[in-house]
Amino acid sequence: MDFTTTKEVENYYYESHRVSSNDLTMSLYCGTACRRKFFWCYRLLSTYVTKTRYLFELKEDDDACKKAQQTGAFYLFHNLAPLLQKSEHQYLAPQYSLLELERLLGKFGQDSQILEDSVLIGCSEQQEAWFALDLGLNSSSSINASLQKAEMETALQGSFIKLTKALFELNVKDASLLSTAQALLRWHDTHQFCSRSGQPTKKNVSGSKRVCPSNNIIYYPQVAPVVITLVSDGTRCLLVRQSSFPKGMYSALAGFCDIGESLEETVRREIAEEVGLEVDRLHYSASQHWPFPNSTLMIACHATVKPGQTELQVNLKELEAAAWFSRDEVATVLRRNNLSNQQQSGAVPFWLPPKLAIAHQLIKEWVEKPTCSPLPA
């Protein structure tokens, strides 16, 4: 496809990709004076914009979403454990077409009505919609009996594996998709009734909401905001452990946002509550959806306390231990973290969360880039 004027580009994309001229202006603005470069710059942007708008349409429009299921791909779960296949050193999440799924359900003598419980979790750049379906959860809208797990696993040549166990052995794309899927499936499973009328709520086709037919109250999937903060005194950082952590693991300090709080207020409160310190400065680093034990949005920050005000008063109701560690100590543990069990030798004083966890990224960032431009808390 070649164009001679930007108007032609605009018309083409407006017609075929349902994007506005504002988007185009933005992409042209970002490009150079060369028309071909405009085009490629725009193509890059348009893939994302087009995909986003397609997903928006599927969430809002039940008929469009049903149609997307015909050509879509399904990820399978059983009681919130994803179906995985082992390949070399990692797990792979297989996808199934609607036809394959219907055949499978037929083989097990099950009603294809269970497909109504599937939830939309994303789409490919070519607009192949992706869905997740749990074959083991009992749902009000479909068959009551759980499908036989072992028989399913044999037929599907895979295993339903707990996400807590499998997450760190998945590639980034599958880890993110399956985390989203599990969070959404869990939310639907636990929010089947209206908290006002007590009546069963009805899921829309994509699973982006549930509605109470008796009073039209709309329920949206919930996510709880949590701050996770790496506190530093300039030369050392504070690592903590809860009794529920795996043995020997230390992490950054985390806490749920209370209603009415800003992120800054949560950071200050949690640090005061858990280790008895006052934050001097803080700055935002990144965020991550975290599926365990329920859906949270982890908001990661770096904070500093004033030098000379570093004495810890650990709240033992919340934490099992908290201590300051030097940059060298943390760097050594990070290096060991990246080695396999066989490569590790000697006693490991403690270990840190795996790469995929935002706590790991936060700690790594501190080790590698100690000075950032902090804001007053």
Tokens of 290: 């975290």
Q: Is 69 in the site for ligand NAD (CB under 6 A)?
A: no
Dihedral sign for Cα 285, 296, 353, 89, please: negative
Residue 228 binds ligand NAD (CB under 6 A):
yes
Looking up tokens 């300051």 gives 324
Work out what residue 357 binds among Mg ion, ligand NAD, none; the CB cut-off runs from 5 to 8 Å by kind: ligand NAD
Residues in region 305-324 near ligand NAD by CB under 6 A = 318
**Pick from 179, 182, 201, 296: which binds ligand NAD (CB under 6 A)?**
296
Query: Would you say 46 or 266 has its CB closer to ligand NAD?
Result: 266
Q: How far apart are CA 211 and CA 209, in angstroms?
A: 7
Neighbours of 282 (CB within 10 A): 22
Nearer Cβ to Mg ion (255/374): 255
Q: Which is nearer to ligand NAD, 220 or 292 (CB)?
A: 292
Q: Which does 251 bind (CB under 5 to 8 A by kind): Mg ion, ligand NAD, none?
A: ligand NAD
| CA neighbor of 130 nearest in space, from 138, 144, 118, 120 | 120
Residues 231-260 that bind Mg ion (CB under 5 A): 254-255
Q: Please, what is the minimum distance in Å from the beta carbon of residue 319 to Mg ion?
A: 7
Distance between CA atoms of residues 353 and 290, nearest Å: 13
Task: Give the separation between CA 118 and CA 74, rounded to whole angstroms.
Answer: 8
Query: What are the beta bridge partners of residue 78?
Result: 81
**Which member of 292, 306, 315, 320 binds ligand NAD (CB under 6 A)?**
292
H-helix or E-strand spanning residue 324:
strand 321-326
How many CB atoms within 10 Å of residue 289? 14
Q: Which is nearer to Mg ion, 65 or 252 (CB)?
A: 252
- Candidate residues 27, 50, 182, 251; the one interacting with ligand NAD per rule CB under 6 A: 251
| φ, ψ at 36 (rounded to 5°) | -65, -40
Minimum CB separation of residue 320 from ligand NAD in Å reads 11
Residues making contact with ligand NAD (CB under 6 A): 224, 226, 228, 251, 254-256, 288, 290, 292, 296, 298, 318, 353, 357-359
